[in-house]
Amino acid sequence: MQVTSSTLRRFQQSYLTLNLNTSQIEKEIFENCKQLAKKKEQLEKEVVALIKAKFDNQLIQNLESIPGISGFMCSLILFCLNPVQSVKGWIGFIGLDVSVCQSGTWIGKGKLTKRGNPYFRKRLFMCAMGAVIHYPEFRQIYESLKSKGRKHPEAINIIARKLLKISHAVIVNKTGYNSQFVAA
């Protein structure tokens, strides 16, 4: 939705710059997009309220203590992922697992399978971006990966996997976030 709203904003700015009038249909599209954004916000608030009603408050606080994990991401994790499942199962479900083609002595380049839920993967990617921007321990990991030759999306995906692993550890061990999880 953010891509759509930013595109519409640029479209409106272009019309203003060129002194063009928007048609009635275009005005309706702009209004519908605004209403959709409001509905999305309401839906996310309702999902967070549902999670607080269904799950233990301590578990939610433990998950929200992880850098980059918001209340809505916490609800996605608790609703979509089975805590009994292994970390590798979680990573595969999201589509952050790496597939490498190889034959004999030839080993190809690895890439994400992307077989999982694209919405979940995108949200987790954004959580990793927030963690890199606002938390020094994740920024340090990001810088280390970049210095080793990783591209920006690769480094962020690696950090997203790390956030997923930390989330699993927090749920299984029933503890809050500890910065020592980052080093593991």
SS3 of 99, please?
A: strand
Q: Residues 67, 155: one domain? A: yes
Residue 110 φ then ψ, to 5°: -80, 150
Task: Tell me, rounded to whole angstroms, the distance of Cα 134 from its chain centroid.
Answer: 15
Query: What's the confidence (pLDDT) of residue 132?
Result: 96
pLDDT: is 3 or 177 the higher one?
Answer: 177
Is 44 in the same domain as 60? no
Give the residue from 38, 54, 70 where a domain finishes: 54
108 and 135, same domain (yes or no): yes
Residue 1 has pLDDT above 80, yes or no: no
Q: Tell the residue number behind the tokens 């956030």, with chain if given.
A: 163
Determine the pLDDT at residue 181: 67
Give the pLDDT confidence score for residue 109 in this predicted structure. 78
Q: Is 166 exposed, middle or buried (0-12, 13-18, 19+ CB in 10 A)?
A: buried
pLDDT at 184: 56
- Give the predicted TM-score (pTM) of the model: 0.78
pLDDT at site 133 = 95
Query: Are 65 and 31 in the same domain?
Result: no
Looking at the structure, tell me whether residues 107 and 139 fall in a common domain. yes
Give me the domain span that covers residue 10.
Answer: 1-54
If asked whether residues 47 and 92 sit together in one domain, one would say no
66 shares a domain with 38: no
Do 176 and 126 fall within a single domain? yes
Instruction: Out of 36, 54, 72, pick the residue that ends a domain.
Output: 54
pLDDT value at residue 100: 79
Say if residue 60 is in the same domain as residue 143. yes
Does 105 lie in the same domain as 46?
A: no
Same domain, 97 and 175: yes
**Are residue 150 and residue 71 in the same domain, yes or no?**
yes
